[in-house]
Structure 1
Amino acid sequence: MPRHALNRTDRPFQTAAERAEAGFGKTHTERLGTDVQLPFGYCALSLKAALDPVASPHGIVFEREFILNSLVKQKEDMKRVSALLAEQKARDALEEQVTELQAKRRKIQAFEQQELGSVVLSTAANSIADLNGSSSNQTSAKSTFRGNFSLSNIHANKLEQDEKKNVGDRDTSNFTFTSSRQEYIPVNLKQARQANFWVASDAPEAKKKRIDEEKDLKQHTECPITGKKLRLKDLIPIKFEIYDQKLFDDGGGRGMYCCSVTKKPITHQKVTLIKPSGIVCFNECVEKTIRKDMKCPVSGKDLRESDLVELIPGNTGFCSHNSIEAKSYKQMRTAAMINADRTGQCGLKGTMR
């Protein structure tokens, strides 16, 4: 007979390799197709064809409306963090003043105890003795009372009333009394809530998150894609030349724009934006024609090297052109992942799940 001792899934438990093969606790890698890649001329934020396109100095195409909203939101966040940082500094200064005052008060009390120690100590000893005497009398009276009567409901109510009287003039709105066969113990509900670590709002050690001036407070707005410095005046308007008007009217796609010099459609080729005129042309045209005399082929203006901005090309499904692999680590798999039409980490259109 064949050997079955080391067959898979024949153990009473599941090994790590078997769990990883089933999709649990494993880094999933999947090759992405062309339908996942962003075509050239699409906004990097809206993922749609840009109606009013602008480019960053790093060659990323945006829709003007979306990039302006992003920059405005960053400005608002910077103002909010700045206000919180000012409040934090004011609070720290106040706490420092309170600490200094408490230190001075302790020094004064220590000096008074040193100079008037006999009077203070005798007064404190007398007050402690009075308190101990009153508490012992109350305890003896309580034991005598409880020894003479049984703890029925009537007597229990009477004991509770006596305990509440012993509390004195203190505010009993936050107090409750726990009953047992031996004694009644007053419990301060406010102190109990403060000692409960499950309620973060009542816990005294629950402090607000401190703001780091170097990490949290930004000095300038950033590009939402690259994270580099980006200002409103750095945006460059683009004048795309439409190659397929029907494709553009239907929402856009690959090859809807063309080179302003060769009139060929732009799909995955490397292109360059000319700042003064806003036109886009292939890098091959730039190397062969524009760099010879450094003049714009449309307007005839003189150009500098800083006027040539290379745009991010459209991606393809070829690994030699751009990265086509997506990785995702999942500790567990959901029922939606298991029952999906397409297994793996990407959906029908390559959206990460």
Structure 2
Amino acid sequence: MERKRETARFPSRSVCSPDGYLYEREAILEYILHQKKEFARQMKAYEKQRGARREEQKELQRAAAQDQVRGFLEKEAAIVSRPLNPFTPKVAPGEPSDEARAGSSTGPASKDKDRALPSFWIPSLTPEAKATKLEKPSRTVTCPMSGKPLRMSDLTAVRFTPLDSSVDRVGLITRSERYVCAVTRDSLSNATPCAVLRPSGAVVTLECVEKLIRKDMVDPVNGEKLTDRDIIVLQRGGTGFAGSGVKLQAEKSRPVMQA
């Protein structure tokens, strides 16, 4: 009866993922909803760009067909014989014409180079900025810490046992020891390895799990049978000590000589 009264007085506001990451219920639910809205927005942009690319392909096909028709008409017009102008000077096969000589002085290579280079003050030479190709977004909502798929049904409600049931939630903030193991009543801290029992959501120490709970594999809070999947080891944050047991990775930046 006393345990039920404690649970009602301190409602569960924390949930944990199957990998043991602890979240506030409202925060993780808001995150999941935000990810779903973001997927809808990205999917809409992807479909819009996909439709624009289809229209662009159709325009290119129409332009290619028009070029073929235009080339055919030009070849047809070139077949018609035209009278030669007797006053046009003949050019020897090895000598360049006057137009070719005039063009060589200006340098056709330099003209081609100028056309290849982008110019931001001439409209015809301004480089065209193309939109980045969007990939099809994934519908899977991932855990913000582990990156694995996460669903609302995978979250487990976590219930911490307060050290003193007579103290309200505001009074617990001023205390260094706030919660204890639900079975052994050992105090819990950031350096204490803990686990959550999925059927009841109770938080116990790993020492209690190894020495007491694994013998019978029964939840001591509600008496339900346990499996290895029902025992979720909570992830702990760093404490500043090298032996805290948390896997941390640090990167050190330093100057490097370059050739």
TM-score using structure 2 length = 0.69
Residue of structure 2 in register with 1:265 after alignment: 187
Change (3 A) 1:57 1:325: closer
Identity of aligned residues (%): 30
Residue of structure 2 in register with 1:255 after alignment: 177
Taking the aligned partners of 2:75 and 2:59, their CA distance within structure 1 comes to 24
Taking the aligned partners of 1:265 and 1:318, their CA distance within structure 2 comes to 20
Residue of structure 1 in register with 2:140 after alignment: 220
Instruction: Report the CA distance between 1:57 and its aligned residue.
Output: 0.7
Contact kept, 8 Å, 2:15 with 2:157, in 1: the verdict is: yes
Residue of structure 2 in register with 1:206 after alignment: 129
Alignment pair present for 1:100 and 2:56: no
- AA aligned to 1:239 is R
Instruction: Report the CA distance between 1:255 and its aligned residue.
Output: 3.0
Structure 2: unaligned runs, 5 residues or longer:
1-10, 84-119
- Greater relative CO, 1 or 2 (CA 8 Å, sep 6+): 1
Alignment pair present for 1:117 and 2:78: yes
Residue of structure 1 in register with 2:38 after alignment: 77
- AA aligned to 1:66 is A
Change (3 A) 1:195 1:102: closer
Instruction: Report the CA distance between 1:61 and its aligned residue.
Output: 0.7
Change (3 A) 1:253 1:287: same
Alignment pair present for 1:239 and 2:200: no
RMSD: 3.0
Alignment pair present for 1:54 and 2:15: yes
Taking the aligned partners of 2:252 and 2:75, their CA distance within structure 1 comes to 70
Taking the aligned partners of 1:325 and 1:115, their CA distance within structure 2 comes to 74
Instruction: Report the CA distance between 1:291 and its aligned residue.
Output: 1.1
Per-residue CA distance 1:270-291 (angstroms, 9 max, x = gap): 1111111110111111111111
Change (3 A) 1:324 1:98: closer
- AA aligned to 1:255 is E
Per-residue CA distance 1:202-224 (angstroms, 9 max, x = gap): x66112222123xxx12311111
Instruction: Report the CA distance between 1:303 and its aligned residue.
Output: 1.2
Matches within 5 A, 1:151-300: 192=121, 194=123, 205-213=128-136, 217-243=137-163, 245=167, 249=171, 251=173, 255-267=177-189, 268-300=191-223
Taking the aligned partners of 2:196 and 2:132, their CA distance within structure 1 comes to 45
Taking the aligned partners of 2:68 and 2:147, their CA distance within structure 1 comes to 53
Count of residues in Structure 1 that have an aligned counterpart in Structure 2: 205
- AA aligned to 1:249 is G
